[in-house]
Amino acid sequence: MNQFIMSMDAGGTMTDTFFVDDTGRFVVGKAQTTPADESIGFGRSVEDALAQWGQAPEAVFPKVATGIYSGTSMLNRLLERKGRRLGVIVTAGMEDYFQLERGIQTYLGYSYQDRLKVSTHRHNQPLVPRERMKGVRGRIDLFGTEAIPLYEHEAEAAVAELLDMDVEGIVVNLLFSYVNGAHENAVKEAALKVMQRKGKSVPIYLSSELYPVMQDFARLNTVTIEAYAAEPSRGQFQKIADRAKNFGGQFELRVMASHGGTISTEARELARTLISGPIGGMVGARYLGAELGIGNIVCSDIGGTSFDLGLITGGEFTTKTQPDMARFVLKLPLVDIDSVGAGTGSYVRLDPISKRIEFGPDSAGSRIGMCFEQGGVDTPTLSDCNIILGNLNPNNFLGGEVILNKERSYQAIKERIADPLGLDPYDAAEGVLQLFENHLRNEVYARVFGKGYSPEDYTLFSYGGGGPMHVAGYTKGLNFADVLVPAWAAGFSAFGCACADFEYRLDRTVNVATASPDLAPAAFEQGFDLLSGAVNAGWEGLRAKVKDEFAKSGVEAGQIEYRHCLRVQYVGQLNDVEIELPFQAIRSVDDIREIIERFEAAYSKEFSRSAKSPELGYLVTNVLVRGVVKVMKPALPNFPLHGPEPTADALKEIRPIYRNGKWHDARIFDMDELLPGNVITGPAVIEASSTTFMVPPGAEARLDQHLIFHLRHLED
């Protein structure tokens, strides 16, 4: 026991901390989140975790090599509109940006039904009110040339007015500044002059410096959120870092970012740490896959409120560049994850008119369901169905901390679901679960098949508190190469955060086109200088920025591994595809051929081979540089294998479970007592304190030396 990795997740209600040592031994601690000063909850959670090892924080922290933060405080600051008081300077004529928004922002995050129901659409409360939005005349055109010079006196007046309104920061977002930032720089200079004259100083955020990417409105959102919500979070991080230091920690606290790497709390672009929750699982799955030699993975995570799905293909996940968060469209890289609004706590209702069973979209969340009397829930949930069928042990929820009332579940399902349908309550509950699992199975299938892949080539990982309960249901008949359930499924997201590399990913829009070398050789040769010049300069600039960011954490240039990527599309089409290149500068036409080859390979995989359109020519939209520094990762547990038969200690009881219209005597096992090598044949239920793994009749689960269950459907 020499070194530890610590990761924490400060969620809306609970702060989890996860410690793993270099043999793969781990503990998870929990404590109430303390929003005003998160470091208090962090401290308690750490104590709770380490107490399980009988250790004091002071004994462990000096040996912590890596500490990673993820949390929702920044998101909450945004949702509650408790960010900083900002002023915004835009190109004159665009001052109503936040009032008008893009139409899509009025229904982001809605169910499909609500998207169609216009009366539910609603504008967001602007982050910056109209009176603090100032327009300045001047125009850079799309090629980056100055069409109208900047009216500097207007910029000065705007800054002066904003300063008089006591703003705490000024955001500058002018049209086409990603091609040419000259006007934004001029606004900054004007602002500095005015500030000096007025004896006031507030930070200035230029979109051309922070997020030099196209799509004006999304860029404005991103820069504004950076200034509004991300910047104030630095103080919060500092408090947590200080607490860790008080425990004797020597490490630099890093933050999980939306691109799947961790970044320093001093990073310039901190807004990308806004969401990190579901990404942890993807990062963990990618790492686990690499360790186990599995390149193609379907990640599935069931929590109380949602079902998250992501694909890892060839050891890499894909990245969205224009995600939405908290009802804002943003320009940030985000690991591609789809979320379906159905989890174990989702409410189950009967449509009073059509008598159709509906799930969610709302859920009981931490209040579980009708079975949890103190929760005050008055609609049955999927958990209630699991309870009455014997799938869930009412005395084992959170390791028995919460005792659930099976009778209440039964009554609720009888009255609300079964009686109106004229069904037996057990049949009704089983029907509901089957419907839920079918729904998930369709989603899984659609994600894999819709991308042109086949489940046979993929291994499915199931995690999250609710994943293991339903995994057999939603994988049945899909013929995945393997179905894996890690024994630490409930803490998998925290584990995943600990698996993330120290990585910056910066991008910049360039928009340069090239013709096809085969169809228009002359034009192709001619365009070489323009393309190579723009891409090479872009990459070089981004490499320098990445180096600067790492320098803040004391990382030397030699330790950084650079990866050079481009986003390319056919000229005139709308969707660009990200490709990685094996070189860091374009030196010859062969390099451009390589770009085209890689783009077309990726394009035909994502869309279709027959959709290739070389006659249109190729447009490089963005240049990207990823700088990665390898860090210590959690070790995979590795235990000697035992025989297939579990020990007598592992068997807790025999409990009837209802499945396929009849009761079965299921063996109930204690997950902690199972030994690597054991094979459990269904019907069986494997219980741990934070999750329950269902092995239905006709399936079996084998625990391997890494404490990962392999689920197999014997009948398939």
Nearer to another protein, 103 or 582 (CB): 103
Nearer to another protein, 109 or 541 (CB): 109
Reduced to 3 states, what is the DSSP secondary structure of residue 270? coil
Phi, psi of 654 (to 5 degrees): -110, 125
Phi, psi of 126 (to 5 degrees): -60, 145
Reported as half-sphere exposure (CB side, CA atoms, 13 A), residue 214 has a value of: 16
| Phi-psi domain of 688 (left: phi exceeds 0; alpha: psi -120 through 50; beta: other) | beta
Cα→Cα distances 695→442, 469, 487, Å: 20, 8, 14
Nearest approach in angstroms of CB 81 to another protein is: 14
Nearer to another protein, 353 or 522 (CB): 353
Nearer to another protein, 48 or 362 (CB): 362
For residues 573 and 153, give the distance between their C-alpha atoms in angstroms, rounded to a whole number. Answer: 40
For residues 311 and 293, give the distance between their C-alpha atoms in angstroms, rounded to a whole number. Answer: 16
Q: Which of 351, 401, 665, 715 binds another protein (CB under 8 A)?
A: 351
Is residue 468 within 8 Å of residue 694, measured between CB atoms?
yes
258 Cα distance to chain centroid: 6
Nearer to another protein, 415 or 645 (CB): 415
Which of 304, 252, 322, 256 lies closest to 284, judged by CA?
256
What tokens does 12 get? 């809306």
DSSP 415: I
Residues between 394 and 453 with contacts to another protein, criterion CB under 8 A: 415-417, 420
What tokens does 80 get? 């509650």
Nearest approach in angstroms of CB 680 to another protein is: 38
**Which one of 12-20, 115-123, 233-241, 630-638 is the stretch in contact with another protein (CB under 8 A)?**
115-123
Helices (H), 226-268: 231-246
Nearer to another protein, 435 or 481 (CB): 435
Nearest approach in angstroms of CB 358 to another protein is: 9
Nearer to another protein, 117 or 609 (CB): 117
What tokens does 372 get? 């949890």
Residues between 361 and 380 with contacts to another protein, criterion CB under 8 A: 362
Nearer to another protein, 47 or 114 (CB): 114
Cα→Cα distances 212→514, 530, 639, 711, Å: 22, 19, 50, 47
Strand extents, DSSP E, 11-154: 14-21, 26-32, 64-71, 86-91, 133-136, 139-140, 146-148
- Which residue do the tokens 């606290």 mark? 253
For residues 144 and 146, give the distance between their C-alpha atoms in angstroms, rounded to a whole number. Answer: 7
Q: Interface with another protein includes 80 (CB under 8 A)?
A: no
Q: Which of 120, 201, 526, 588 binds another protein (CB under 8 A)?
A: 120
Nearer to another protein, 152 or 362 (CB): 362
Which amino acid does the sequence have at 131? E
Nearer to another protein, 425 or 637 (CB): 425
Residues between 481 and 500 with contacts to another protein, criterion CB under 8 A: none
Nearest approach in angstroms of CB 108 to another protein is: 13
Reduced to 3 states, what is the DSSP secondary structure of residue 442? helix
Is residue 218 within 8 Å of residue 330, measured between CB atoms?
yes
Nearest approach in angstroms of CB 114 to another protein is: 5
Nearest approach in angstroms of CB 106 to another protein is: 12
Residues between 95 and 114 with contacts to another protein, criterion CB under 8 A: 111, 113-114
Nearest approach in angstroms of CB 123 to another protein is: 10
Q: Which of 349, 406, 633, 652 binds another protein (CB under 8 A)?
A: 349
Q: Interface with another protein includes 352 (CB under 8 A)?
A: yes
**Which one of 84-92, 116-124, 133-141, 492-500 is the stretch in contact with another protein (CB under 8 A)?**
116-124
Q: How many CB atoms lie within 10 A of CB 268?
A: 19
Nearest approach in angstroms of CB 150 to another protein is: 34
Helix (H) or strand (E) holding 695: strand 692-695
Q: Which of 2, 103, 112, 119 binds another protein (CB under 8 A)?
A: 119
How many degrees, rounded to 5, is the angle at CA 700 between CA 694 and CA 702? 100
Nearest approach in angstroms of CB 417 to another protein is: 8
**Which one of 330-338, 349-357, 485-493, 683-691 is the stretch in contact with another protein (CB under 8 A)?**
349-357
Nearest approach in angstroms of CB 125 to another protein is: 10
Q: Interface with another protein includes 529 (CB under 8 A)?
A: no
Is residue 406 within 8 Å of residue 384, measured between CB atoms?
no
Nearer to another protein, 360 or 527 (CB): 360
Nearest approach in angstroms of CB 112 to another protein is: 11
Is residue 127 within 8 Å of residue 81, measured between CB atoms?
yes
Torsion of CA 656, 658, 659, 663, to 10 degrees: 60
Q: Which residues contact 611 (CB under 8 A, 6 or more apart)?
A: 603, 604
Nearest approach in angstroms of CB 63 to another protein is: 47
Nearest approach in angstroms of CB 427 to another protein is: 17
Nearer to another protein, 240 or 388 (CB): 388
Question: Is 17 exposed, middle or buried, given 0-12, 13-18 or 19+ CB atoms closer than 10 A?
Answer: buried
Q: Which of 54, 112, 353, 450 binds another protein (CB under 8 A)?
A: 353
**Which one of 229-237, 267-275, 346-354, 435-443 is the stretch in contact with another protein (CB under 8 A)?**
346-354
| Phi-psi domain of 563 (left: phi exceeds 0; alpha: psi -120 through 50; beta: other) | beta
Nearer to another protein, 119 or 374 (CB): 119
Nearer to another protein, 44 or 416 (CB): 416
What tokens does 579 get? 């490709």
* Size of site (CB under 8 A) for another protein: 17
What tokens does 399 get? 């390791």
Is residue 692 within 8 Å of residue 468, measured between CB atoms?
yes
Q: Which of 59, 82, 99, 122 binds another protein (CB under 8 A)?
A: 122
Nearer to another protein, 429 or 674 (CB): 429
Nearest approach in angstroms of CB 218 to another protein is: 24
Q: Which residues contact 118 (CB under 8 A, 6 or more apart)?
A: none
**Which one of 98-106, 136-144, 350-358, 511-519 is the stretch in contact with another protein (CB under 8 A)?**
350-358
Q: Which residues contact 648 (CB under 8 A, 6 or more apart)?
A: none
Which of 281, 287, 312 lies closest to 635, judged by CA?
287
**Which one of 160-168, 236-244, 297-305, 347-355 is the stretch in contact with another protein (CB under 8 A)?**
347-355
Cα→Cα distances 50→4, 57, 501, 528, 693, Å: 12, 7, 24, 59, 26
Nearest approach in angstroms of CB 428 to another protein is: 12
- x/- contact string, 573-612, with another protein (CB under 8 A)? ----------------------------------------
Nearest approach in angstroms of CB 514 to another protein is: 49
Nearest approach in angstroms of CB 377 to another protein is: 15
Q: Which residues contact 401 (CB under 8 A, 6 or more apart)?
A: none
Nearest approach in angstroms of CB 392 to another protein is: 23
Q: Which residues contact 266 (CB under 8 A, 6 or more apart)?
A: 234, 552, 553
Nearer to another protein, 345 or 464 (CB): 345
Nearer to another protein, 119 or 610 (CB): 119
Nearer to another protein, 413 or 513 (CB): 413
- Which residues contact another protein (rule: CB under 8 A)? 111, 113-114, 117, 119-120, 122, 349-353, 362, 415-417, 420
